[in-house]
Chains A and B, each alone.
Chain A
Amino acid sequence: EDQVTQSPEALRLQEGESSSLNCSYTVSGLRGLFWYRQDPGKGPEFLFTLYSAGEEKEKERLKATLTKKESFLHITAPKPEDSATYLCAVQARAKDSSYKLIFGSGTRLLVRP
């Protein structure tokens, strides 16, 4: 069964304290792993797509990496405005043979000034 597990569930950091969020997955035939940021009461905001092991992508203080079993979202010198829930999702085959995203439960990040 396709599954996505994120850890930790919640993370508190001091401003400037770098850390990493983990997303481990099991899916038959990975066709893409996605990272999203979600602020309270809002829809997810797209951050990155990774397709193959070894791939890395960066955006400002965020860097996403991918292995065959997991992905990491590294946050370097975070700021309070980075506080949000970070969601990981993998692309899996749906019942009608199209594709759908399966989401992890998310990591709630709080960055204190």
Chain B
Amino acid sequence: GAVVSQHPSWVICKSGTSVKIECRSLDFQATTMFWYRQFPKQSLMLMATSNEGSKATYEQGVEKDKFLINHASLTLSTLTVTSAHPEDSSFYICSARDTGSWGAFFGQGTRLTVV
């Protein structure tokens, strides 16, 4: 299956700082990438959908100025959590869709802890 690499796998940052998470499709071109957030023992909640070269579409209730998404190439999307606060601590997961198919493949996830 297609491989999606997410980095870092975990990060601890101080409150007020910004954190960038990368999501790469390693062996296919991803026209669309998705960013999810997952709280303990809960399912994945879609935060935003990004298409290469255009602005991301955010789900209702997700602050686009706080969660900056960039999808500058067909193999890379980034999520930047700006001015992070402890309530932003969560597990963030990206997924990528291969052009012409509907298989959605997921990265390994990033555990963000804001102290």
Contact = CB atoms under 8 A, between A and B. Distances in A.
Interface in B100-115: 102-109, 111
B25 interface: no
Interface stretch (A14-22, A38-46, A67-75): A38-46
B102 A46 contact: no
Contacts, number: 59
Interface residues of B, number: 26
Contact of A43 (B1, B41, B46, B107): B107
Interface residues of A, number: 26
Interface of B: 1, 4, 6, 32, 34, 41-46, 49, 51, 57, 91, 93, 95, 102-109, 111
Given A41-B109, A43-B108, 12 more contacts: A43-B95, A44-B44, A44-B106, A46-B103, A46-B105, A91-B102, A94-B57, A98-B49, A98-B51, A99-B102, A104-B43, A108-B41
